[in-house]
Amino acid sequence: MNLSDWIERWAAFDAAKPAVRYEGATFSYGDLADTIARTAGALAELGVRRGDRVGWLGLNSIENIGLLFACARLGAIFVPLNWRLTPLEHQAVTANFEPGLLIMEPPFAHAIAAKGVILRGPKLACTGGARPGWIDWDALVQDASPLTSGEGGSDDPVLICYTSGTTGEPKGAIHTQDGLLWNAINSTHMHDLTSQDRVLTTLPMFHVGGLNIQTTPALHAGATVTLHRRFDPAATLETLVRERITLTVLVPTQLDMMLAEPRWLTADLSSLRCISTGSTIIPPVLVHAIQARGIPVIQVFGSTETGPVSVFQRVADSGKVGVAGRCALHCEMRLVDARDNDVAAGQSGEILLKGRNIMAGYWRDEAATSEALNDGWFRTGDIGHLTEDGFLVIDDRKKDVIISGGENIYPAALEAILKESPAIEEAAVVGRPDQHWGEVAVAVVVPRPGARLTADAVLGLFQDRVARYKHPREVVFAERLPKTSIGKLAKADIRRFVLETLLQAPV
């Protein structure tokens, strides 16, 4: 069996049952099964075979869902790309996974062409009509002979999600079809998910959060998914009310924007059984503000590598604000010290996770895979402790990743850009707290002797190099950067210096 059998079986039970609502159209399970069969036929016609990678660059869409399940049927691997990245970053990522076919929506195809970026190797297809030299994807799918069976199986890799979109060392987490199944089972337990649920997806589906916390689990359960191309708070609120949505996932930045909506306090949200949230440590004040409307808020803890559903709260736990939850039904968890010894309850340790939902490894990166996985245990790099009643509390992140609005920002990639400047002696990038985004990046720069360097000049170094959300929001100049005894940047001391400097700055 493969993932596409989920849709075929639900279509056999009830072909007319709504599967996906998208852009004013409703796709029944029968319609979705036909879309997947035609998409699989189109892929096969282009020579896509088992193990081949198929890239997608576009916003949330029915094509996105059709491609995932069609790749599963063929045994191919679906790779959704982060549409927030620049064309140069897309070039680096595609060079890593080497797609046989890359399908784009028109705005992204135009942007890549405008920048003169060359994507070597893949056949290029575009939705929304013909484009010179490109395959007309819509026409190809429409005319394709439906393919109702293929070589895909449960052990086959089916999804690569990139943990970063940097031009340096992007890492693609490989998930198997079996892994997505067990992630769906974990999510079903987390949400008490049934075929009667109506799920709203607004998170981008190039993330496992948007794709796998509720969307694919809902289709496994025979539920109905309403899909927004991208998040808009007013449209989200309207859909929650109009379609009587029962489940949705909103990260803290989205929740802040929802609270700012004028209709938030008066809208009829009585259908919502809960809102799931995650991606970072959740401010208790935010949870209390949502729950004041009578809506339970539950947390999920995981990462791109874990599927991500690995630790979570259920609705009965929603009163325990500040905890990440318990280990998922089909996962194992350990908290270990620096020597990999298990720590006692109440003591902090690195969080290790194990389960069939965990990634198979990083694409073409044996060193990173070996570092992250040991006997099936995934090292999250996060530090936590267990409460007396067995709930996980996240203390801090061991890694230096900055999480801004639910998006990961990797300082090393930004530091590499800063170090290219002949006017900069040394540099570091750290996060500082931000009320709206959770965290934002700050560049800390030591100018070379005699260099005339302004904050605007430093920030300009990132233009067209990395996505806008990765750009540092501020520049702090320093005479030197604190280092450890072996010469490494002391990031904790740098973060402290940034906060002290910004607090002292005139308003």
User: For residue 134, what are the domain limits?
Assistant: 1-170
Query: In angstroms, rounded to a whole number, what is the distance separating the alpha carbons of residues 34 and 42?
Result: 12
Do residues 17 and 72 both lie within one domain? yes
pLDDT tens sequence across 285-313:
889 999 999 999 999 999 999 999 999 99
Q: How far apart are the first and last CA of the chain?
A: 62
Residue 175 within a domain:
no
Residue 234 within a domain:
yes
Do residues 199 and 244 both lie within one domain? yes
Do residues 223 and 332 both lie within one domain? yes
312-324 burial, b at 16+ Cβ within 10 Å, e below that, comes to bbeeebbebbebb
Q: Is the pTM of this model over 0.85?
A: yes
Question: What pLDDT does 412 receive?
Answer: 79
Q: What is the helix, strand, coil percentage profile of the chain, to 5?
A: 35, 25, 40
Residue 177 within a domain:
no
Q: DSSP assignment of 55-76, as one string?
A: EEESSS-HHHHHHHHHHHHHT-
Do residues 388 and 417 both lie within one domain? no
The three-state secondary structure class of 491 is helix
Question: What pLDDT does 484 receive?
Answer: 61
Residue 162 within a domain:
yes
Question: What pLDDT does 145 receive?
Answer: 97
Question: What pLDDT does 11 receive?
Answer: 98
Question: What pLDDT does 505 receive?
Answer: 65
Do residues 420 and 376 both lie within one domain? no
Q: For the chain, 507 residues long, give each residue's pLDDT as a single digit of tens.
A: 999 999 999 999 999 999 999 999 999 999 999 999 999 999 999 999 999 999 999 999 999 999 999 999 999 999 999 999 999 989 989 999 999 999 999 999 999 988 888 888 899 999 998 788 899 999 999 999 999 999 999 999 999 999 853 334 679 999 999 999 999 999 999 999 999 999 999 999 999 999 999 999 999 999 999 999 999 999 999 999 999 999 999 998 899 999 999 999 999 999 999 999 987 778 788 899 999 999 999 999 999 999 999 999 999 999 999 899 999 999 999 999 989 999 998 998 999 999 999 999 999 999 999 999 999 999 998 889 999 999 999 887 777 888 899 888 888 789 889 988 999 999 999 999 998 899 999 999 999 999 999 999 999 999 999 999 999 999 999 999 997 644 567 888 899 999 998 877 654
Do residues 255 and 306 both lie within one domain? yes
Residue 180 within a domain:
no
Do residues 10 and 89 both lie within one domain? yes
Domain boundary at 143, 170, 197, which?
170
Q: Kindly report the CA angle at 94 between 460 and 105, in degrees rounded to 5? A: 80
Question: What pLDDT does 164 receive?
Answer: 56
Q: For residue 134, give the H/E element and its range.
A: none
Question: What pLDDT does 94 receive?
Answer: 94
Domain boundary at 367, 399, 431, which?
399
Q: What is the CATH number of the domain that holds 213?
A: 3.40.50.12780
Question: What pLDDT does 487 receive?
Answer: 59
Question: Helices 87-97 and 106-114 sit at what angle, rounded to 10 degrees?
Answer: 100
Do residues 324 and 368 both lie within one domain? yes
Do residues 423 and 283 both lie within one domain? no
Question: What pLDDT does 306 receive?
Answer: 97
Residue 176 within a domain:
no
Query: In angstroms, rounded to a whole number, what is the distance separating the alpha carbons of residues 350 and 347?
Result: 10
For residue 314, give the DSSP letter. -
Do residues 240 and 113 both lie within one domain? no
Q: What is the CATH number of the domain that holds 51?
A: 3.40.50.980
Q: What is the CATH number of the domain that holds 413?
A: 3.30.300.30
Of 124, 141, 142, residue with least CA distance to 133: 124
Domain boundary at 107, 141, 170, which?
170
Residue 206 within a domain:
yes
Do residues 164 and 269 both lie within one domain? no
Which residues touch 110 (CB under 8 Å, ≥6 apart)?
none
Do residues 189 and 311 both lie within one domain? yes
Q: Give the chain's domain count.
A: 3
Residue 178 within a domain:
no
